[in-house]
Amino acid sequence: MVYKLSRWQRWQTLILPGIFPYLITGMITAVGGAWNASIVSEYVEFRGQTITTPGLGAMISQATATGNFPLLLAATAIMSLLVVMTNRLVWRPLYQLAQEKYQQLL
């Protein structure tokens, strides 16, 4: 055992404080990339055929393709609102926790 700590104590006092800021940054990047991919993949045109699944991405793509600018504006505003809310309610508090509780001392 390292420093005579149990596995849980080692995780809680050594490992988590060391990786937490990087873990949060990685999660933000991964979730953003996954969300972008899911938005884009909801509306696909291939060989003259359009394949869609219900969702915000398909709505934005269909509104763009048909020139429905009021729907495009509304869907884009909803998407922006969801991104801002997720950042404010989820990522910002976690990032703040990473800075306050797990910041490396120099």
Instruction: Return the pLDDT at 106.
Output: 37
Mean pLDDT of the chain: 89
Is 69 within a domain? Answer: yes
Count of structural domains, the chain: 1
In a domain, 87, yes or no: yes
Structural domain includes residue 67: yes
Range of the domain at 31: 20-101
Question: Structure pTM?
Answer: 0.74
pLDDT digits (tens, 9 = 90+) for 57-102: 999 999 999 999 999 999 999 999 999 999 999 999 998 888 887 7
Per-position DSSP letters for the chain, written without gaps between them: -GGG--HHHHIIIIIHHHHHHHHHHHHHHHHHHHHHHHHHTTEEEETTEEEE-SSHHHHHHHHHHHT-HHHHHHHHHHHHHHHHHHIIIIIHHHHHHHHHHSPPP-
**9 in any annotated domain:** no
Q: Is residue 66 one of the residues assigned to a domain? A: yes
Residue 7 forms part of a structural domain: no
Residue 47 in any domain: the answer is yes
Whether 95 is in a domain gets the answer: yes
pLDDT band, residue 105 (cuts 50/70/90): very low
